[in-house]
Amino acid sequence: MRHQQILDKLAAPLLVRALNEDLARWVGWQLVAVPEDHRDLGQRVIPPILTRWRCLLDSDDTAAETRHRGWVAMAVLLHRYGLTDQAVTAHASAAIDSLNRDVVLSDAFARQSPAIKDFLSAPPPPLTRRPRRPGTLTLLRPGDVVSIQVEASFHAAFVREVAGGNEYPVIEFYAGRFGRPPTFGELSGRAAGDRGGARFGVVGLTYLPDPANQVRAVASGHRQPPLGIDPGPGEGRYTMTDIIRLQHVIERLFREA
């Protein structure tokens, strides 16, 4: 049995592709950051990946069968990259049972479910090379306004431009945090999160709708960015980051909000 055979049987190509892109990019970055020691790779990879994807995996707003597919895909892709997590594997096993009980997937998936569970329970082979960096082509456009969830908080951002040959959006955060996705009316006339310091080029901020359910559309074609002052000479137009590191950026930027 191969990882891709299981993933294909989930019949969720966009979800699998987006999750694989997040993992491949983040695992690759961690292998570059600490190339000499892979022993704690799982601790550096799994928690931030789960923070992003729990917006789908644990959400009551997500269809049950989508959550179940997500848990199985998470376990399979972690296994592909030489990683495992007991809680994720347990969720995936229960999700397999639910998908079969509700007859969501094919007969072949149901027949092979015991083998799939055994496959995921076995220790994964160690990763021998850095994953290939996935290409990016963002679907966001200038004037889009989005809400980004981290844990139980929501943060709004305005797409100022698309850079790198349509590879990634440059966003600017509005001030404040919200307990639910903000409405456009709540953002109109709102200041920027920080003078010139709330602008980020975000690699991996690719899809809208976001398969991880972390990024949600608020408005499109809006012409008024957050109110604020442009960066001064020598301050830089924006800071480069990616969709996983952005979560830490948000926590730092809105620590006092």
Per-residue three-class SS string for 65-105: HHHHHHHHHHHHHHHHCCCCCHHHHHHHHHHHHHHHHCCCC
Asked, for residue 127, whether it belongs to a domain, the answer is no
pLDDT bin (cut points 50, 70, 90) of residue 257 is low
Asked, for residue 161, whether it belongs to a domain, the answer is yes
Say what the pLDDT of residue 214 is.
98
Asked, for residue 75, whether it belongs to a domain, the answer is yes
CB 91 within 8 A of CB 67: no
Say what the pLDDT of residue 256 is.
67
Cα(73)–Cα(75) distance, integer angstroms:
6
Do residue 174 and residue 237 come from a single domain? yes
Coil, helix or strand at residue 228: coil
- Nearest partner of 55 among 171, 165, 169, 146, judged by Cα: 146
pTM: 0.94
Q: Last residue of some domain: 121, 155, 179?
A: 121
Do residue 45 and residue 149 come from a single domain? no
What's the Cα-to-Cα distance from 240 to each of 72, 246, 255, rounded to whole Å?
32, 10, 20
Asked, for residue 126, whether it belongs to a domain, the answer is no
If one counts the domains in the chain, the total is 2
Do residue 44 and residue 116 come from a single domain? yes
Do residue 96 and residue 185 come from a single domain? no
Asked, for residue 138, whether it belongs to a domain, the answer is no
Do residue 96 and residue 11 come from a single domain? yes
Do residue 85 and residue 175 come from a single domain? no
Asked, for residue 136, whether it belongs to a domain, the answer is no
Asked, for residue 153, whether it belongs to a domain, the answer is yes
The residues pairing with 171 across neighbouring beta strands, listed in sequence order, are 159, 200
Asked, for residue 47, whether it belongs to a domain, the answer is yes
Do residue 176 and residue 115 come from a single domain? no
Do residue 81 and residue 154 come from a single domain? no
Q: What is the DSSP string of 148-192?
A: EEETTEEEEEEEEEEETTTTEEEEEEBSS-BSSPPPHHHHTTPBB
Do residue 116 and residue 156 come from a single domain? no
Do residue 8 and residue 106 come from a single domain? yes
Coil, helix or strand at residue 133: coil
Say what the pLDDT of residue 1 is.
85
171, pLDDT greater than 70 = yes
Do residue 177 and residue 105 come from a single domain? no
Q: Last residue of some domain: 64, 87, 121?
A: 121
Name residue 243's amino acid.
I
Do residue 117 and residue 151 come from a single domain? no
231, pLDDT greater than 80 = no
Q: Which range, 58-62, 212-216, 233-237, has the best average confidence (pLDDT)?
A: 212-216
Instruction: Decide the pairing of beta strands 239-242 and 199-203.
Output: parallel
User: Looking at 18-22, 125-129, 217-221, which range is the least confident one?
Assistant: 125-129
- Domain hosting residue 54, numbered range: 3-121
- Above pLDDT 70, what percent of the chain? 96
CB 177 within 8 A of CB 257: yes
